[in-house]
């Protein structure tokens, strides 16, 4: 029995290849977008072994709705969704999910983009990207987790509903950005007061 379980564990695919249960309907994206794909939404993720869970906050909101999850392409240039789309109306503050340095803040193909290299994540370092975002910090700025780096722009989104596209790369390889978030942050629900022994709640 132990031998059978060990063999099964060794033959199982890496967690980074597992896609989780979808949480929404598929959303079409703009023509020419490198993330374009007819594939439907996928919101949750299995932990990616290559990514340390160093995130301390969501990029937007407290627990934003995932409109479309990470869908890795089968080949380098194949269709897929190389990031996560989070519901966020224009003007929403966008925050750095972990400590790092702003490596880019500007426009790419008409979209505002901010990229942050994450501190202590190896060589090459992990890099998060956020778009469409109007940057409030210049390139080279050291930022802390939770620090505002810009606001969601009204135009340039490939979503059919207002959103921010959050990406994660190491070098040229795309990874699941949700892997940066520890389980307590992914699963956190609304705060609730708990009674202290012998002290009634008001």
DSSP per residue, 84-128 = EEEE--TT-EEE-SSSEEEEEEEEETTEEEEEEEETTS-SSPEEE
Strands 173-175 and 163-170: antiparallel
Full-model pTM: 0.69
Indicate if the pLDDT at residue 63 is higher than 80.
Answer: yes
In this prediction, residue 182 has a pLDDT band, given cuts at 50, 70 and 90, of very high
Strand partners of residue 19? 45
Q: Please indicate whether residue 179 or residue 192 has the higher confidence score (pLDDT).
A: 179
Q: Please indicate whether residue 41 or residue 115 has the higher confidence score (pLDDT).
A: 115
SS3 percent helix, strand, coil of the chain, rounded to 5, is: 10, 30, 60
Indicate if the pLDDT at residue 91 is higher than 70.
Answer: yes
Indicate if the pLDDT at residue 185 is higher than 60.
Answer: yes
Q: Please indicate whether residue 70 or residue 103 has the higher confidence score (pLDDT).
A: 103
Using one digit for the tens of pLDDT, what is the confidence trace for 92-102? 999 999 999 99
Q: Please indicate whether residue 132 or residue 81 has the higher confidence score (pLDDT).
A: 132
Question: Residue 198 has what pLDDT?
Answer: 53
Indicate if the pLDDT at residue 10 is higher than 90.
Answer: no
Indicate if the pLDDT at residue 84 is higher than 80.
Answer: yes
Using one digit for the tens of pLDDT, what is the confidence trace for 110-149? 999 999 999 999 999 999 999 999 999 999 999 999 999 9
Q: Please indicate whether residue 40 or residue 140 has the higher confidence score (pLDDT).
A: 140
Question: Residue 37 has what pLDDT?
Answer: 31
Question: Residue 147 has what pLDDT?
Answer: 98
Please state, for a pLDDT cut of 70, what percent of the chain lies above it.
Answer: 67
Indicate if the pLDDT at residue 197 is higher than 60.
Answer: no
In this prediction, residue 189 has a pLDDT band, given cuts at 50, 70 and 90, of low
State the average pLDDT for the chain: 75
CA-wise closest residue to 184 among 57, 43, 46: 57
Indicate if the pLDDT at residue 1 is higher than 90.
Answer: no
């Amino acid at each position: 029995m132990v031998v059978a379980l060990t063999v099964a564990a060794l033959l199982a695919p890496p967690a980074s290849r597992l896609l989780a249960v979808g949480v929404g309907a598929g959303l079409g994206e703009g023509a020419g977008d490198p993330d374009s794909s007819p594939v439907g939404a996928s919101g949750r993720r299995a932990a990616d072994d290559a990514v340390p869970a160093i995130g301390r906050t969501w990029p937007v909101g407290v627990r934003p709705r995932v409109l479309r999850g990470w869908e890795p392409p089968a080949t380098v240039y194949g269709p897929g969704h190389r990031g996560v789309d989070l519901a966020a109306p224009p003007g929403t503050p966008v925050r750095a999910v972990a400590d790092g340095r702003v490596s880019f803040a500007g426009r790419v193909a008409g979209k505002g983009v901010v990229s942050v290299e994450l501190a202590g994540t190896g060589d090459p370092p992990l890099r998060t990207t956020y778009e469409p975002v109007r940057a409030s910090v210049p390139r080279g700025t050291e930022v802390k987790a939770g620090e505002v780096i810009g606001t969601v722009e009204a135009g340039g989104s490939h979503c059919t509903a207002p959103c921010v596209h959050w990406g994660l790369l190491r070098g040229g390889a795309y990874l699941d950005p949700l892997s940066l978030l520890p389980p307590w942050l992914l699963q956190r629900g609304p705060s609730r007061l708990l009674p202290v022994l012998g002290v009634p709640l008001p």
